[in-house]
Structure 1
Amino acid sequence: MTLPGNRPSWLTFDCYGTLIQWDEGLLAAMDRILSAKGGDIDQPAFIATYDRHEHALEEERPHRSFKGVSAIALERAMGEFGLAFTPDDAEILTSSIGRMPPFPEVVETLGRLKAAGFRLAIISNTDDAIIAGNVAQLGGHVDRVITAEQAGAYKPTTQIFHHAWKQLGIGMNDLVHICASPHLDLAAARRLGFRTVWVDRSTGRKPLSDYSADAVVPDLEKVPGVLAAAGWM
């Protein structure tokens, strides 16, 4: 697939699942929380329940911090599984997120993209304090970080993307967005029309039935090749 349009000035990225090992880190955090509760818990089913509550809470108004969203989602999920919740459980989860590492190829690839003249930004459904630990692991290559806390809204709403573009001082055609989440980032692209590269890391997340990304790659290492094919590197 060849990306359409002119060379973008910015490449924007989803963070968790795209740059940072979210699924692996979430499983480790949940294992720590659930193992202390005893019993045999189906972790994939539990995480799916947590995700359902998290996404529902992110759509509610007034806007909640991600720290607040994750705590309520965890409490509700634990309630569905008959587990007693304590504030310490939420602290284990939120404190673990900033320590989640990047995928092995990410830092080197971001460096290649930066050296090619692109400016790099993250647009993420999180709080500033939480993502700071993740960004610190990205080799100093990221120019800007836009969070749901700053925008007062979560993806896939158009509000967070419009806020990000205003902060970056660019229009929709001045960027390509690189992401792993079909139902957050690609859903927003379907609505707004910005160019996308979907990083399909074979996690089982399904593409949208009525939208196709402009390019699909299995990991971030393949992104420079896609940009080179478009004549941009």
Structure 2
Amino acid sequence: MTLSGPRPEWLTFDCYGTLIQWDEGLLAAMDRILAGKKQSIDRDAFISVYDRHEHRLEAERPHRSFKNVSATALALAMEEFSLEASPGDADILTSSISGMPPFPEVVATLAGLKVAGFKLAIISNTDDAIIAGNVAQLGGSIDRVITAEQAGAYKPTKQIFQHAWTELGIEKEQLVHICASPHLDLAAARELGFRTIWVDRGTGRKPLADYVPNATVARLDGVPGLFSAAGWVE
């Protein structure tokens, strides 16, 4: 697949799973939390239940902070598995998220895109304080960070994207959004009509049945080749 249309002024990125090693970091955090419990449970099953509660809470109004969402989802998951929650469990989770590192190719790729003249922004379902630790690991290439806390809404709702575009002072035709999450970012693109590159990292997340991204890469370092083919970089 190739990209077409005008060269974007901004590249916007999902953070967790796209730039930052979310799945690996979440498993490690859950291992730390569950290690202190008496029962032995399937961590993948536990994470699936946690995810279900997290996405439901993010959709509720009024808006909750991600710190509140993650703590509440964790407590509800523990309740379902008949686990006794400890006061520090939620802090383990949020501190682990903030410390999750980037994928190996990310920092160099972002630096190259910056040198090529693109402005770079993150649009993420999180709080400012949580994502700060992740952004600090990205080599200083990110120009703006737009969070659910700032927008008062989570993906896949259109509010967070429209808030981001207003903050960046651009129309949707002036950007390409790069993401790994079909059910959040690509679902929003299906509704709002902005261009996307899907980073399919082989996690098993399935593309939407009724939406095809403009391009797909296996890792972030596949993006510059797409841009070269589109005539956007030399």
Quickly name the TM-score band, shorter chain normalised: over 0.9
Q: Per-residue CA shift, 1:187-223, capped at 9, x if unaligned? A: 0000000000000000010100000100000000101
AA at the equivalent of 2:37:
K
Q: Which residue number in structure 1 is paired with residue 45 of structure 2?
A: 45
Matches within 5 A, 1:98-117: 98-117=98-117
Identical amino acids, percent of aligned pairs: 75
Aligned to 1:96: 96
Question: 1:190-229 counterparts in 2 under 5 A?
Answer: 190-229=190-229
What does the per-residue CA deviation read over 1:87-123, in whole Å, with 9 as the maximum and x for residues that have no partner? 3100100011110000000000000000000000000
2:30 and 2:10 map into 1 onto residues whose CA distance is: 35
Q: Distance in 2 between matches of 1:115 and 1:87?
A: 45
SS in 1 for 2:99: coil
1:120 aligns with 2:111: no
**TM-score normalised to structure 2 length:** 0.99
2:62 maps to 62
Structure 1 distance, partners of 2:25, 2:213, is 26
CA distance in 2, matches of 1:38, 1:182: 36
Residues in 1 aligned to 2:67 and 2:222: alpha-carbon distance in whole angstroms: 33
Gaps of 5+ in 1: none
Conservation of the 8 A alpha-carbon contact between 2:39 and 2:83:
no
1:151 corresponds in structure 2 to: 151
CA contact (8 A) 2:121 2:143 kept: yes
Which amino acid in structure 2 is aligned with residue 155 of structure 1? K
Q: After TM superposition, give the deviation of residue 47 of structure 1 in Å.
A: 0.5
The residue aligned with 1:169 is 169
Q: Tell me the C-alpha RMSD between the 2 structures.
A: 0.6
| Residue identity matched to 1:192 | L
Paired positions, count:
233
* Matched letter for residue 176 of structure 1: V
Give the residue type in structure 2 aligned to 1:35. Answer: A
In structure 1, the residue matched to 2:181 is: 181
Amino acid at match of 1:73: A
Aligned to 1:136: 136
Contact 2:8/2:174 (8 A) holds in 1: yes
Provide the residue aligned with 1:21 in structure 2.
21
Q: CA deviation digits over 1:135-177, x for unaligned, max 9?
A: 0000000000000000000000000000000000000000000
Paired residue secondary structure (2:85): coil
TM-score with structure 1 setting the length: 0.99
Kindly state the Cα deviation for residue 40 of structure 1 after the two structures are TM-superposed: 1.8
Distance in structure 1 (CA, Å) of the matches to 2:49 and 2:122: 27
- What secondary structure does 1:98 align onto? helix
For structure 2, which runs of at least 5 residues remain unmatched after alignment?
none
Amino acid at match of 1:183: H
Does the CA contact (< 8 Å) of 2:178 and 2:199 recur in 1?
yes
Structure 1 distance, partners of 2:119, 2:140, is: 12
State how far apart, in whole Å, the 1-side matches of 2:29 and 2:18 are. 19
1:85 shift after superposition:
1.3
Following superposition, the deviation at residue 86 of structure 1 comes to 2.6
SS of 1:197 mapped into structure 2: strand
Q: 1:232 corresponds to which residue? A: 232
| Worse-superposed segment, 33-42 or 196-205 | 33-42
Give 1:5 deviation, angstroms: 1.2
